[in-house]
Each structure stands twice: as structure tokens, then as C-alpha cells.
Amino acid sequence: MMKGTSVKTAMLMAAGLGKRMRPLTATRPKPLVRVAGKPLIDHALARLEAGGIERTVVNVHYLPDTLIAHVRARKTPMEILISDEREKLLETGGGLVRAMPLLGDAPFLCVNSDNIWIDGPQDSIAMLGSHWDDDKMDALLLLVPHARAHCHKGSGDFHMDNMGRLTRRRPGRLAPFVFTGVQLVSPRLLREPPTDAFSTNFFWSRAIEEGRLYGVSHGGLWFDVGSPAAIPAAEAIIAGG
């Protein structure tokens, strides 16, 4: 199969409870918390629009009606579909499986709504598409070097070999790459889910064992906007950039 794919569909993960963002999430879902003049989800939707995405599936759970009303009021040529998890929060892996009927059979983009990224020399969505190799990959993760992971407090997530294959951070060590919350996913990754509510980590671990989890390094800015304290820090860097 020829390398590369044109990405037209995305999943926007917006169903979380936003506990780390309290008290700002007491009265609004986390994706509607404002950063640099607009809600987090609008930053993500703008990147998807700029990247040529034609259809986006948004999953909802906490204060779902507020979020649904916001995305439906948005003026956009992009088709927006809702995957409703109001009855039970399915976590990241379960949310993807629930949305599968809306996502189609081709590789699709999956984006967390609480990260902001600004492209560097390359359009990140196009870069993921150009690096995609369907024969080798079940998922291709957009990673950022640990030293450039703004507002991020973790120890890193992955090691990447010279072919782009990923392995997990080793216990007690720093890993050189942080997951940006953006990945290109084959529907193959989602086969045989373990239960209805579970983390995407289940799928990643299986893909690592099979040598089918890959990464590519992001050359622009990235912000982990997971807590109230991260908001002014991110805004200062964005304003200065």
C-alpha cells in the first residue's frame, strides 16, 4: 500500500470531567474554559478546519447540552457530529469505540480538547498524513520534545527509535517525548476492546507489543492546559510568540 493518507475525519475528545481545572469547571465543561481569548475547544476546531478536516465527531458527557449548543452554533463548513456519553463516561478508549460508527473506515485524527498547538514550519495534520504507513502502523502520535512541552509537569511519555517506533517511558527515568494529545489512528487499533470504559493506553500497549505504534516530532509550540495555573502561563507565551 502506498505511504501517506489524506485525513478528512477527526475525533475531538471533549467528554472529561475536568477535575484538574476546578473551580473553573464547576459551571462549565472543560472545553469551554477560555484561554487566549477563546474556549479551548475553539482552538482545537480552528486547527482542524485549517488542516482540511471535513467531519469532526465530538464526544460529550459533563454538562453536555452546553457543549453541544456551543459547537452547533459555530459557523463552520466542517460537519460536526455528537457522540453522546451522558449516561456513562467511557474514558478515552471507550469513547473512541463508541464513536466508531461515526468515524468511518479510513485512518482518522484524534485530538484532545485541552491541549493547544501552534504549527511550526509544517502543518501538523498534513505531516501526520504524509508519514502514515498503513502497512506498518496502527497509530501515529504527534509528540513534542520534553524540553518544549510548555506547562507540562510530567516526566515524559515515550522513547522513539530512529524508525519512529515508540516504547514507554522507563520507570524512574525521564522520557524525551511527550504526547501532544494529537494522533492519527487506524480503525484497526480499536479492535477487541476490553470493556466499555477504559483508557486508550490499552490499545497503545498492544500496538507497542506488535511494533505498530509510531511517532513524529512536532516542530511548533504546544501547551498542556490542564489546570487553572497553566492558563496565564500559556497565554503569556502565545502573546509573546
Q: What is the pLDDT of residue 188?
A: 96
Buried b (16+ CB within 10 A) or exposed e, 129-166: bebbeeeebbbbbbbbebeebbbbeeebbbbbeeebbb
Q: How confident is the model at residue 241 (pLDDT cuts 50, 70, 90)?
A: low
What angle, 0 to 180 degrees and rounded to 10, lies between the N-to-C axes of helices 40-50 and 124-131? 60
Mean pLDDT, the chain, rounded, equals: 93
Burial class (CB in 10 A: 0-12, 13-18, 19+), 120: middle
Number of helices followed by number of strands (H, E) in the chain: 6, 13
What average pLDDT does this structure show over 188-205? Answer: 95
Mean pLDDT of 194-220: 96
Per the listing, cell 519512529 goes with 164
pLDDT value of position 213: 98
| 191, pLDDT greater than 50 | yes
Residue 112 has pLDDT above 50, yes or no: yes
pLDDT, residue 110, reads: 98
Mean pLDDT lowest among 78-82, 127-131, 137-141, 194-198: 194-198
pTM to 2 decimal places: 0.95
- Percentage of the chain beyond pLDDT 70 is 99
Mean pLDDT, range 38-66, rounded to an integer: 95
User: Which range has the top average pLDDT, 48-52, 139-143, 170-174?
Assistant: 139-143
pLDDT recorded at residue 117: 94
Q: Rounded to whole angstroms, how far apart are CA atoms 189 and 100?
A: 11
Confidence of residue 1 (pLDDT cuts 50, 70, 90): very low
The amino acid present at 160, given as its one-letter code, is M
What's the rounded mean pLDDT across residues 185-206? 96
pLDDT score of 83 more than 50: yes
